[in-house]
Structure 1
Amino acid sequence: MKTFFVRIFDFFNTIQSKIAFYPTLFAFSGFLFALLMMYLEQQGISRKVMDLLPQLMVEDGDTALTVLSACLGGLISLMVFSFSMVMLLLSQASSNYSPRLLPGLISDKRHQLILGVYLASILYIIFTLFSIEPSEKKYTLPGVSVLLGILFTITCLVAFIYFIHNISQSIQINNILDTIFSDSRKRLKHLIDSKKEVPLSFPDTENWHKYKVGHSGYIQNIAINNILDICEREHTKIYITIPKGLFALSNAVFLKSEKKLDKEVVEQVISNISFSKGELVEDNYILAFKQITEIAVKAMSPGINDPGTAINAIDYLTELFALRMLKGDQTIITQNNKILLRIATVRFNELTYNVMSSLRTYCKHDPIMVQKILWMLNYLRNQPAVEESYHASINEEIQTMINETRKSLECERDILAISKILKA
């Protein structure tokens, strides 16, 4: 039963990031509301409202058809234009910044909700038109339905104004960086706050029994409590060898167990781990480092040549690295005071190397960018860390950056300026 609920949660977590999720829900709601209004019209709701507020009701069938037809045509044009702007936003973000940004932009609920309002209004007006006869008089017209159709159209116009404002903000790189940073910081803080004080020792897994996952995909979510129950039931310890958020290959070793497990037990463990074909920052903070690094690298490419954006990206990387230094390199989970589960984690030195190797390659020829990167590293080595090895990794990256810079820069004044930063 627990596995079933985990699957439902993972399914909902996946589909809500699709651009068609909320528009589909709203469209279905618009259809149901149109059917509800047809039923209420048969009960005489328009006749009652006509007696109370006659000035709000349409008194002629031809007029009602003309008004709703105009609203319908306008809303269809509005939705096509809005959808085209979303596609333009995605295309520009992919070409100017990074294709990795697309899942986050597509999952923007504000765009989905606005498109959903359009679709719901369009479907409502279409089915309302079916219930209008040109020869109908005011007491037989679905007046309330027509009035609601007009109000929905006005709502869509207001939503379109907000949509223009929102999409103009979404394409700005500062807002994109801030969104990525906020999501990853929230995820990192959750991991740091939920960490329990456990011994940092785990048995050597070299000779443990090894198992493959059988299919490929990005590790999205892990039902830790269910796997802990399996460990206790089978009297074993389990090591998940691939970090969450990374791609698991079908024939690679995925699980290690202290004791040999039956095929059914291995399938139970794997069934509590969900896989997807994409990545989201909300599930994997490592993706934020990749995205921000790619934005900086793309900005420093000859085709873009935007060092200002690269500097902004390094500022956000600095804060993320400082927060990551408060998290340990090992994820060891206990239950009933027994160490039962270890999940592989991207180690800090691996993370810094992956980020810095890309930045070094594309930024070592620019003295301003070199100064900014060294400022970041110098700041980080003075920050608190849960493990002393973090500072050693940073010092190693500083020395590597200096060596590569001396090979790339020829101006003595630039080299002197960089040396002053290190002394400071």
Structure 2
Amino acid sequence: MRAFLSWPIHLLKAYRQSIAYLPSLLALAYAFLSLIALLLPISDDRLPTLLTMLGLEAPEDTLPLLVALLGGMISLMVFSFSMVMSVLSQAGGQFSHKLVFGLISERPHQWVLGHYLGTILFILMLMMVPNVADGQATWRSLAIYLACAMVIHCLALFVYFIHKASQSIQIDAVVTDLHQSTLASMQVLQSQQQGQEWRILAVAASSGHRHYPVHARRAGYLQNADLSALAALAHRVDGVVHLHFRFGDYVVKGLPILSLEAASPPEASWCDEVRATLTYVEGESITEHHVFGLTQLMEVAVKALSPGINDPGTARLCLHRLTDLLGRRLEWQPCNSLFDRDGTCRLTWKVEDFESLLYRLFQPILRYGREDLSIGLGVLKALKTLSLFAEEKDLETLQAHADRVVETLSQAADHPLDRRFVSARLDDGIHRLTLPRVLPGRQDT
């Protein structure tokens, strides 16, 4: 029953995250306005004199004007979105193809598309009912004036749309948007995990009961889950639910995605309710999982370091944003278990630790930028900054990465001038790492 009721909720959530959400709402609003203009006419004697003076003598003869407005709006919409798709395809080649859908689905772009579609729909409705009853010419004239005002409004939106589209593909705007979206996702998760029931377990305690697996019924990206609902389901059968995947993983059909640790096996209906709490989202949703924002920043940096683009400045810009996000990640560690009111663990899940996250983000940048000394120094500077926020365990991880960066710099610096430049910046600044004052001798491999 719960699975059946959750289906409309998931459908509504998918609709709200789609490109068609705002355009469809605005189109419905314009359609409702056109119905008011056509089905609820007001006679001229009930309108103020000033409005009746603006009325057209023969509103039914304005069909050529409406045809011209409609053709112009269709041309405007086609030109706008052919232009933006061309620009975004170029941006996908320069940054990352994962960003293209996010740029075209931005709320301002959806608002513009909604006004375009709504204006076209409003004009079409006026053209479908060209005849005007006697004594209602002013009311139809006002609707025609409104259609002209809508077209003028869309022309202003066209200028705004071009400006917004051109701004959205600039690297500063792309990186800033990724940074803000990731930070907002982290803050939402942090606010959700408030209270004593959310805890961090190094090793999940075992009750000694048997583990009963629950298999996936479909393939896709498991981005999130209703953890509170899962804990309540585990409490109902007096067991513990263990998730065997990390949020954001791709699972195949039939994979044991979780298990129930209990005295008796669960019923089929209980398993269906558990599956209904899982959130499948195609692609990488930063809103659902903040790690995707970090990896997309890394991918933009790696793409910028490719020989075809060769833009180390963009890579350094991404490094700055990653440093800020990882610093906030060091100050707060996500929980991996949920307890009930009695203090009994009811749910555990996997959380990627800082060591794994640091390797996934920094090593690809260091690998693809190993020939550029500025990239190596940028990674080293990021590690120095992170060392000021790290505890002892994480400090050891940062030290190991710093040693590798120093080794990479030693291999890349051939000329004595390069080695002198790098050596002057190895131990520079405030940090907690152990770094040499002079770049070690190059080791031939």
Settle same-fold status: TM greater than 0.5.
yes
Structure 1 position 364, deviation (Å): 1.0
Distance 2:36 2:135 in 1: 22
Helix, strand or coil at the partner of 1:325: helix
Aligned: 1:299 with 2:304: yes
Q: 1:6 to 1:251 in 2, by over 3 A?
A: closer
Find the counterpart in structure 2 of residue 393 from structure 1: 397
The residue number in structure 1 matching 2:348 is 342
Task: Map Cα deviations across residues 270-304 of structure 1 (whole Å, 9 max, x no partner).
Answer: 11112122222111111111111111111111111
Q: In terms of mean alpha carbon deviation, does 11-20 or 332-341 score higher?
A: 11-20
Task: Give the structure 1 partner of residue 187 of structure 2.
Answer: 189
Deviation string for 1:234-268 (max 9, x for gaps)?
Answer: 11111112111221232433102212333332222
Local SS of the residue matching 1:164: helix
Between the two proteins, the alignment pairs up a number of residues equal to: 420
* Superposition deviation, residue 3 in structure 1: 5.5
Q: Which of 248, 252, 257 is 1:254 aligned to?
A: 257
- 1:25-424 alignment to 2 at 5 Å? 25-41=25-41, 43-44=42-43, 48-49=46-47, 51-61=49-59, 64-133=62-131, 139=137, 142-195=140-193, 196-197=195-196, 198=199, 200=201, 201-203=203-205, 208-259=211-262, 260-328=265-333, 330-336=335-341, 337-385=343-391, 388-424=392-428
Equivalent pair of 1:65/1:132 in contact (CA under 8 Å): yes
One-letter code aligned to 1:359:
I
Name structure 1 gaps, 5 residues minimum: none
Q: How far apart are the structure 2 equivalents of 1:109 and 1:100? A: 17
Paired AA for residue 396 in structure 2: A
Residue by residue, what CA displacement relative to the aligned partner does 1:55-78 show, whole Å, maximum 9, x if unpaired? Answer: 432223465223222221211111
1:222–1:274 CA contact under 8 A, matched in 2: yes
State the distance in 1 between where 2:181 and 2:175 align: 10
* Structure 1 residue ranges (4+ consecutive) displaced by more than 6 angstroms after TM superposition: 134-138
Identity %: 27
CA contact (8 A) 1:103 1:280 kept: no
Q: Distance in 1 between matches of 2:271 and 2:64?
A: 65
2-side partners of 1:416 and 1:247: how far apart?
47
Q: Tell me the secondary structure at the aligned position of residue 399 of structure 2.
A: helix
The one-letter amino acid of 2:35's match is L
Distance 1:232-1:404 versus aligned 2 partners, 3 A rule: same
- TM-score w.r.t. the length of structure 2 is 0.87
Q: Post-superposition shift, 1:213?
A: 1.5
Deviations along 1:319-346, whole A, 9 cap, x unmatched?
0110111232651111212221112112
Q: Secondary structure at the match of 1:371?
A: helix
Instruction: Give the secondary structure class of the aligned counterpart of 2:56.
Output: coil
Contact 2:245 2:350 in 1 (8 A): yes
For residue 257 of structure 2, give the secondary structure of its aligned residue in structure 1.
strand
In the alignment, residue 52 of structure 2 is paired with which amino acid? P
Aligned partners of 2:200 and 2:334 also within 8 Å: no
**Which stretch of structure 1 is more off in the superposition, 296-305 or 352-361?**
352-361
Offset of residue 11 of structure 1 = 2.6
Tell whether 2:18 aligns with 1:18: yes
The unaligned stretches of length 5 or more in structure 2 are: 429-445
Q: Is the 8 A contact 1:329 1:346 kept in 2?
A: no
SS in 2 for 1:242: strand
